[in-house]
Amino acid sequence: MTLRLLPPFLLLVLAAPAASQDIVVTGRGLQAPAGETVFDVVTLPRERLEEAQRLEEVLRDVPGFQLFRRSDARTANPTSQGATLRALGGNASSRALLVLDGVPQTDPFGGWISWPAYDPRRLGAVRVTRGGGAGANGPGALAGTIELESAGPADLRGAWVDALAGSRGSLDLHAGMAGALGAGFAAVSAAYGRGDGFVPVVREQRGPVDRASPYEQASVSVRAVAPLPGGIELQASGLGFYDARERGTALSGLSTKGADAALRLVARGWSALAYVQMRDFFNSFAAVGAGRASVSRASEQYSVPSTGLGGRIEWRPEVGRVVELRLGADARRTQGVTRELFSYVAGAPTRIRAAGGETLTLGGFAEAARRGDALTLTLGGRLDRWSISNGLLRERLLATQALLTDDSYADRAGWQPTGRAGLAWRVEEGLTVRGAAYLGWRLPTLNELYRPFRAGADATAANPALAPERLQGVEAGLEWRPGRHARLAATLFDNRLEDAIANVTLGQGPGTFPGVGFVAAGGSYRRRGNLDAIAARGLEAEGRIEAGPWSLAAGLAWVRARVRASGAAGPLDGLRPAQTPDLTLSSTLAWRRGGAGGSVTARYVGGQYEDDLNRQRLPAAWTLDADVRVPLAKGLAIELRGENLTATRVAAGISGDGIVERATPRTLWAGLSARFF
């Protein structure tokens, strides 16, 4: 589908009026607002993105960023790949809002993120705002906002090819071309990766059924930018991707297919955006027998089609030299259904399930900022109308088509006000202090509302009555720039996530439980529910110093996160949310001169719990990555990379029966990089 979009996009550029040729296209949206300086913002530069193989690894440079699992998008189940910040995890859906050129990127059905779709080389910059309530980007920014900006004419030109071969039959390819076309700009790029994978289960627990987990992933992106009369810039983009993985045994394959298209108009003082997203997901779940000597299929999501439709408009009227005003509105509609075969007997399914529905958010926002010589103030708010509709759960016997469950849930709707305010005071040259307060919210995903699921011996029931999550937060920080090439920053924060959605343990097998049926011995019965709150307070600190070709960047995040719970979830009160470490560290020493360079990155992730009851602990782990780039000729260089060079065992998960799954072991890469201008 994405390739079929390319000709019309290029025609838009070629058809651009000659009178517009004195306009220089940028390919970007509106400038970052003045009020952003009062919040805790980290920008990852273009040079860092050009060196990276995967976006989720680059984001680990940001203190406090984490995925639900420690494993990356080559081995983890995509449904566990939600992003969060500030230890507001405990849920596989994203609690951070990820946008690409203004378009929300969470899966329309499940709220997770398909990381293989985003080649870092296509991006011009990544801006991470920690802390909720980023109202101009839409709802969903509980823990913060991750803004991806596509590379433009200033970043991409000519053609490029990067090819690396690595351990365990791994192959990583990136190629593309970009440049002026008529009065505008166009870029086409593709990425492909594959590997034989590694055995996820740790060595001492493996059985005859355990095997390596191969993966294959590909994406294609097209983008065109054209000037129109009146100083308007038209930006058209299309993205298609495919992601297939296996989870370490037979019958555990899964795949995701996606296609996106977007149109954006950008002019002086306003922008307008419209987009469509389509996804389909396949996931097969395997049940492993005693002694890990046999495997059988437990269930199969044979199709999970979903769509996201939306748009956004923003206007920045001129109201004075020192005041900036932002006004706008946005809308997003998601629709999806999971279609599953389950309750397998002798290798054959006996039941079929369909579960899904629709959600809609309509919002308006206003934000004002005043920027003086020493003091910047900002105040903003938004009001959203949300609705959840057409929810259903239907289960049938395959043999007779007799209905076992036929639930249609009442439509719901409500209003949700949010906002944020802050100030930044430049005490003296190079020293700034700031403070902010904010409110944020997130609507439950269709997956959380309607889909029961099993993971090994554990079973989790859905909850169609889930309430939206709501966040309250405050923070205070300072930034010190003792010189042009040095920066130190620190932020203290206190966040409270009310009605936090979690998988709450309510019983242990063997037994029959509502919403899931029979749970075997050793398994846990859980149900999605709204906790009273998750309270998270902590410190983020980071620094960077440059000396000639050398640079050193480091950061840490320390968070004390605790669950506040009562009623059926009372046993969780005072415990740490699942999958939330108390301490993370990252440090990178780099050297770059001309086309040559290299870097070493050390990362630490503290201990965390697999489960909500804090019974299964994942130990802390240090890892070490490195890369070297050596020019061979003009535009041609050799690249060497290493992941987890110390071969540290990084525990990524523990099943209900104690089986430990590991993240990526030592992986070595070598390849060539070519640039043609």
* 3-state secondary structure string across 559-597: EEEEEECCHHHHHHCCCCCCCCCCEEEEEEEEEEECCEE
Strands 232-246 and 215-228, bridge-based pairing: antiparallel
The 10s digit of each residue's pLDDT in 181-200 is 899 999 999 999 999 999 99
- pLDDT band (50, 70, 90) for residue 18: very low
pLDDT at 569 over 80: yes
What residues are paired with 221 via a beta bridge? 189, 239
pLDDT for 12 beyond 50: no
Indicate if the alpha-carbon torsion angle 344, 350, 354, 355 is positive or negative: negative
Q: Among candidates 502, 468, 275, 262, which has minimal Cα distance to 385?
A: 468
- Write the pLDDT tens digit of every residue in 408-453: 999 999 999 999 999 999 999 999 999 999 999 999 999 999 999 8
DSSP of 8-52: HHHHHHHTS-GGGTTS------SPPPGGGGGSEEEEE-HHHHHT-
6 pLDDT higher than 70 = no
Residue spans of beta strands (DSSP E) within 74-209: 83-84, 96-100, 103-104, 123-130, 144-150, 158-166, 170-181, 184-195
Q: At residue 65, what is the residue type? A: F
Q: Is the dihedral of CA 10, 12, 18, 21 positive or negative?
A: negative
List residues bridging with 92 in a β-sheet: none
Q: Are 531 and 562 in contact (CB under 8 A)?
A: no
What pLDDT, on a 0 to 100 scale, did the predictor assign at position 7? 45
In the chain the domains, ranked by start, together with CATH numbers, are 2-676 (2.40.170.20)
Q: Does the bond joining 510 to the residue before it have cis omega, within 30 degrees of 0?
A: yes
Residue 8: pLDDT over 50: no
> Per mean pLDDT, which range of 130-134, 373-377, 593-597, 615-619 is the poorest?
130-134
Provide the 3-class DSSP secondary structure of residue 232: strand
Give the mean pLDDT of 383-392. 98
Phi, psi (degrees; rounded to nearest 5) at 79: -70, -10
Residues 209-245: tens digit of each pLDDT: 999 999 999 999 999 999 999 999 999 999 999 999 9
Measure the CA angle with vertex 481, ends 58 and 367; round to 5°.
70
Residues 6+ apart with CB under 8 A from 252: 246, 284, 285, 286
Please answer whether residues 542 and 63 qualify as being in contact, where contact means their C-beta atoms are separated by less than 8 angstroms. yes
Q: pLDDT class for 90, splitting at 50, 70, 90?
A: low
Asked if the model's pLDDT at residue 134 lies above 90, the reply is no
Q: How, if at all, do strands 144-150 and 96-100 pair? A: parallel
At 378, the amino acid letter reads T
Sheet holding 524-530, edge to edge: 453-455, 458-461, 524-530, 501-508
For residues 470 and 441, the answer to whether their CB atoms sit within 8 Å is: yes
CB neighbours (10 Å) of residue 244? 17
Q: Which residues pair with 176 in a beta bridge?
A: 160, 189
pLDDT attached to residue 3? 40
Q: Encode pLDDT of 468-512 as tens digits.
A: 999 999 999 999 999 989 999 999 999 999 999 998 889 988 998
Q: How far apart are CA 101 and CA 150, in angstroms?
A: 7
Rounded-to-5 percentages of helix, strand, coil across the chain: 10, 60, 30
Q: Write out pLDDT tens, residues 257-294.
A: 999 999 999 999 999 999 999 999 999 999 899 999 99
Q: Beta-carbon neighbour count of residue 150 at 10 Å?
A: 22
Q: How confident is the model at residue 454 (pLDDT cuts 50, 70, 90)?
A: confident
pLDDT classification of 16: cutoffs 50, 70, 90: very low
* Residue in 242, 304, 636, 627 with CA at minimum distance from that of residue 445: 304
Whether 578 and 611 have beta carbons less than 8 Å apart is answered as: yes
Query: Which tokens is 21 given?
Result: 């040729």
pTM of the model: 0.94
Residue 586 pLDDT greater than 90, yes or no: yes
Burial 427-451 (b: 16+ CB within 10 A, else e): eeeeebebbbbbbbbbbbbbbbbbb
Maximum distance among all alpha carbons in the chain?
Answer: 77
The helix (run of H) or strand (run of E) holding residue 56 is helix 55-59
- Cα-based angle 356, 358, 409 (whole degrees, multiple of 5): 65
